[in-house]
Structure 1
Amino acid sequence: MTDDAVLRSAITTAYLSLADLLDGAGKDRWDSPSLCEGWRVREVVAHMTMAARFTEAEFMAELRACDYDFTRLSNAVATRDAALPEDTLVAGLRSQVMHHWTPPGGGVRGALNHVVIHGLDVTVPLGVERRAPEQAVTTVLNDLTYGGGHAHFGVAVDGRALRATDLDWSYGSGPALSGEAGDLASALCGRRLPEGRLQGDPL
């Protein structure tokens, strides 16, 4: 397999695993708060599956209506589409469109980061295991540290050591922050994690 093919396989696995988790889940799970501030699980899933419901022309029309402010668009669509039937949202996670989608300018790695991080936004507060393969999470951690992705979230890692406790991954030197790989990825994206999930000084 090419590198892109490996990443595509990991993307599909992550989407389908999250779909399996939520398929038939009760309202309490769908309405649980996520790691995305102000969003429940249903808003996160509505956001992460936008491409399964909008053509490019429809997306651009939505973006124009929000004065080309993507954050405003994301909030508007997530709030509105969270009211869709849960079966529709799960179908979005299973959609081949999502499994082959890439964010503008983000490529396949951007798509992988999208599904892994938002998947963690759902699974961490629900207290269930992450739904992405180890290789996928390792790739995301490398993008967020060595690749500089943490800067997009206002997180600083200079002079810090990061250590995953559930797989063979580490970064940097200095005062250490350790925990499961998924929790480290969430912290690098500026998410506020439940108490006790990471050990060491916060980023």
Structure 2
Amino acid sequence: MSSPQAWVAPTCTGLADLLAAGPPTLWDAPTLCAGWQVRHLVAHLTMAARLTPEQFGAEMAAARGDFGVLSDTVAQRDGGLPADDLLAALRSPRLHGWEPPGGGALGALSHAVIHSLDVTLALGRPSVAPDGALVAVLDGQIAADGAWFGTDLTGLRLEAADAGWSWGEGRTVRADAGALVSLLAGRTLPDGTVLPRT
């Protein structure tokens, strides 16, 4: 792949395909994001497919500059959209070409991969992100020294059991690449595994 951006579309469409093939009850299942069902998570992931920059600016102003408040407001509101609308947003070329301000192509890919894993890991399903995308996001998280989500990597060795990827020295944390991405993103896995925070 010439750019991480090229992995965004298959990640998002893979999640759409998984949800479209499942029972409607999947939309109400919990995710790794506390308090968010699948519908809320997808509504958050696909904001860029629905909101113009001007609309996003208005939402941010309404949230008084607090992105956390904006995210929860939009997720709760737009999570009530029909499933077909949310699936269409996941498949939207506008979403696939979006880059977060200051985040670039890797930021866009990380957004898609991490949030898709919030769904698939919680549901006990395989990752929908391409293997290369998972490794690219792992490399980005390590390059940031865990700072994206405040994880403390001191004294840890991370090993991807399914990707031949490893980093660090110390206490070994071995898991599939997708699970490592989620751990580095500050998530608690369904089995209770979590990385220390800074």
Aligned length: 196
1:152 alignment partner, one of 141, 148, 151: 148
Which residue of the partner structure matches residue 182 of structure 1? 178
Which amino acid letter does the alignment assign opposite residue 189 of structure 1?
Answer: A
**Quick one: distance in 2 between partners of 1:40 and 1:53?**
19
Show the counterpart of 1:128.
125
Contact 2:186 2:195 in 1 (8 A): no
Cα distance in 2 for partners of 1:16, 1:164 equals 24
Computed over aligned residues only, the root mean square deviation of the Cα atoms, in angstroms, reads 1.4
Are positions 1:35 and 2:35 aligned together?
A: no
Alignment partner, residue 161 of structure 1: 157
For 2:67, the aligned partner's letter is: F
Measured against aligned partners, the alpha-carbon deviations of 1:114-168 in whole angstroms (never above 9, x if no partner) come to 00000000100111110011110001001111332x2232210022100010111
Matched residue, 1:90 = 87
Moved more, 152-161 or 130-139: 152-161
Structure 2 residue runs of 5 or longer lacking an equivalent are: none
For 1:178 and 1:202, the matched residues in 2 are separated by 12
Q: CA deviation at 1:26?
A: 2.4
Match of 2:58 in 1: 61
* TM-score of the aligned structures, taking structure 2 as reference length: 0.95
Deviating runs (4+, > 4 A) in structure 1?
Answer: none
- Alignment TM-score, normalising by the size of structure 1: 0.92
Amino acid at match of 2:91: R
Amino-acid identity (%): 46
Aligned-partner Cα distance in 2 for 1:111–1:24: 25
